[in-house]
Amino acid sequence: MNQNNSLKSKKIYKPGIFQYCDRWCEKCEHTDECLYYDVNKKFFLSGDKKFNFWDKIEDVVNLTIDDLEEVSDSMGVDLKGFSEKFSKNNSEETLSEGYLLYEKTENYSKIVNEWFDSFAKEPLPVGKEDHKRKVSAKELAASMQQLTKAIEYIRWYQDLISKKLKIALNSKHEFKDGFHKGFAKVVLIALDRSIDSWNSVLEHFPSMSEKISNQLLLLQKIREEVEKEFPFARTYKRDGLDN
């Protein structure tokens, strides 16, 4: 194959499409265009570590600091010192005004862990109101599928919310190109889906309405504050994802 044909066959990625995503590659429709997905699949999912980190750094130069740390850690290359310095310099100046908001997201993640951990010790409490309506086997299967999906979404987003919010807060006063809006939008999407998922769990277990309602109220409050902190995040167009 000559050089021209080789260049034509080289895969083309959408620049930065992974920058403002939720890292849930299994649910994504854009993996064919995503450098992050290919890097993750080749070097993490396949377990292939037979490559030189610095030879590949050019291919992943657009990855976020978190992504670079994942790649470097697996290769034994230490980039954490730089990352910690970056985080310290920004968090002291820009995170303070949103620190209480950030704390709420961290607290939410802990509450979710405690909620699910409690069922490892005791069976799921099912009240009489949870069995009022008789359902067919087909309806039951569909119901269980819906519940499984809701729990999967809750667990996926519980930590991502605080991580993406921290980046949005840190970068709010550092970048002028909408960088923070993209991450704030990811936070809002994660909050929306988490709220929908908790409502779904509540439909299945109305006897647990008090505890679940507390989680819903906390998430709704966080969402309101995020929208106030980043008023243009909802309408922000993420390259490759929203246009």
Residue pLDDT, tens place only, 82-139: 445 445 544 454 445 678 899 999 999 999 999 988 877 665 555 455 555 554 555 6
pLDDT at 207: 84
Identify the band that residue 36 occupies on the pLDDT scale cut at 50, 70 and 90.
Answer: confident
d(CA 222, CA 109): 12
DSSP tag of 16? T
What ranges do the domains of the chain cover? 13-78, 97-229
How does residue 7 score in pLDDT terms, banded at 50, 70 and 90?
very low
- pTM for this predicted structure: 0.72
Amino acid at 16: G
173, 90 in Cβ contact below 8 A?
Answer: no
Question: With contact defined as beta carbons under 8 Å apart, do 214 and 134 qualify?
Answer: no
Closest Cα partner for 74 from 104, 46, 98?
46
Helix 80-90 with 137-171: angle, nearest 10 deg: 70
CATH for 97-229 (1.20.1440, 1.20.1070, 1.10.1660, 3.30.40): 1.20.1440
HSE-up (13 A, CA, CB side) for residue 129:
8
The mean-pLDDT minimum among 2-6, 110-114, 157-161, 176-180 falls in 2-6
